[in-house]
Structure 1
Amino acid sequence: MDKSLDGIRVVFLDLDGTIYLGDNLIDGSLEFLNRCEEKGIQRFFLSNNSSKSVTEYLAKLHGLGIPAEANDVLLSTHDLLSWLGNEEVTETFLVGTRGMRSMLEAVGISTCSNEPQYVVL
């Protein structure tokens, strides 16, 4: 495994199905993450599942014994937040989960507006 990581500085890892499946770690994933840590390789965890917030993903990772910080988790919701911010959108009507709602509201975007600029799904 050492040789295959030579020269690698950063890895981007999908979460469900790559690091864990449901509530179980995939065999070898924790060992791989530990090896990355030992070699100083930065890790980012990705998900296109917008149903959970970064906080929820961190709780899951920590519960599985994987150390991670908020900046280590990149979600499709981050792209949404970036786009809404660039468009100066502050009023939406969200049809989504509590996790997505918390991320939008954390940056000052209303999610239950009677006069939304956009409906967010």
Structure 2
Amino acid sequence: MFRGFIFDLDGTVYLSDRLIPGADRVIYRIREMGRKVVFLSNKPLQTREDYATKLTRLGIPTKPEEVINSTLVMNRYLQKEAPGAKLFVIGEAPFIEELRRNGFRIVEEPSEIDYVVVAFDRTFDYRKLNIAYQAIKKGAHFVATNPDRTCPVEGGEIPDCAGMIAAIEAVTQKKVEVIVGKPSPIMIQTALETMGLAPQECILIGDRVETDIKMGKEARIATGIVLTGVTDEETLKRYKHSELQPDFVFSSIAEVENLLIA
């Protein structure tokens, strides 16, 4: 039915360090049938190598090139739009180091900053907010990795990048210019290019309507929602008969195996 399967990670394949039951079997079956798999994550807390190592440890052998995270997409965006730009980065060490390795200079003097780059950052504080404010007031561009309000973890959710974006928007009275992660077409295009497939040959499966499903719909890709992350049956009712109604609803990734039988 589909030649390419694009899976979200957090809330879809695993929660924190726990594999969602059946994920390993489903992905093994997809690959066994000669179909392609890529994994997407808006979270820039780990490198692609880290994600591949984690998936392999959890029982899903994965190569780094099968993982597309917002760090990769941000790097590609900045290399195209502003090679050699000076950046002030709100984000954690793996994200910052990846940008630095790709030739970007990380600075904190507002007058030197070309781009304020915002990512999920559990160390976000007033100092960082003030540097971003001063830089944007002096003309720096304002871009971000992802718009997620929360990040699913075992036992609940924690605040995500939307909190950092909102704080900066509130004090500068300027909207973020570009968000490169889901639901951005920049991320889905990267996934399609990685697999070498057309949109109509693929399905995107995730746990969040406003990012995963929205991105799939806008790219004209079939979509499936799982109920193991931030979306439950009650939440899903809000999207019934809307343009964001998923094509498929799965209680968990284990049910994706039904698509392989069809």
Alignment correspondent of 2:91? 96
- Are the equivalent residues in 2 in contact too, given 1:56–1:99 (CA < 8 A)? no
Letter in 2 for 1:105: R
Letter in 2 for 1:24: R
* SS of residue paired to 1:31: helix
Normalised by the length of structure 2, the TM-score is 0.41
* SS of residue paired to 1:50: coil
The equivalent position to 2:39 in structure 1, one of 40, 45, 57, is: 45
- 81-90 or 14-23: bigger deviation: 81-90
Root-mean-square deviation over aligned CA pairs = 1.6
* SS of residue paired to 1:68: coil
Q: What's the offset of the Cα at 1:54?
A: 1.1
Residues 1:60 and 2:54 aligned together: yes
* SS of residue paired to 1:92: strand
Alignment correspondent of 1:3? none
Q: Deviations over 1:62-100 (max 9, x none)?
A: 221211112100112222212211222421121211121
- Are the equivalent residues in 2 in contact too, given 1:15–1:47 (CA < 8 A)? yes
Q: What's the offset of the Cα at 1:103?
A: 1.9
Alignment correspondent of 2:114? 117
Q: What's the offset of the Cα at 1:113?
A: 5.6
Alignment correspondent of 1:34? 28
Separation (CA, whole Å) in 2 of partners of 1:54 and 1:111: 21
- Are the equivalent residues in 1 in contact too, given 2:53–2:62 (CA < 8 A)? no
Letter in 2 for 1:83: Y
Alignment correspondent of 2:132? none
Separation (CA, whole Å) in 1 of partners of 2:107 and 2:47: 18
Separation (CA, whole Å) in 1 of partners of 2:59 and 2:90: 32
- Are the equivalent residues in 2 in contact too, given 1:53–1:102 (CA < 8 A)? no
* SS of residue paired to 1:79: helix
Letter in 2 for 1:32: V
Q: How many residues align?
A: 115
Normalised by the length of structure 1, the TM-score is 0.85
- 109-118 or 38-47: bigger deviation: 109-118
The equivalent position to 1:80 in structure 2, one of 70, 74, 79, is: 74
Separation (CA, whole Å) in 1 of partners of 2:89 and 2:2: 40
Separation (CA, whole Å) in 1 of partners of 2:107 and 2:59: 36
Query: In terms of Rg, which structure is larger?
Result: 2
Aligned structure 1 segments of 4 or more residues deviating by more than 4 angstroms: none
Q: Deviations over 1:10-64 (max 9, x none)?
A: 1000101111111111011000011011101110000111222212212211221
Query: Unaligned 5+ residue runs, structure 1?
Result: 1-6
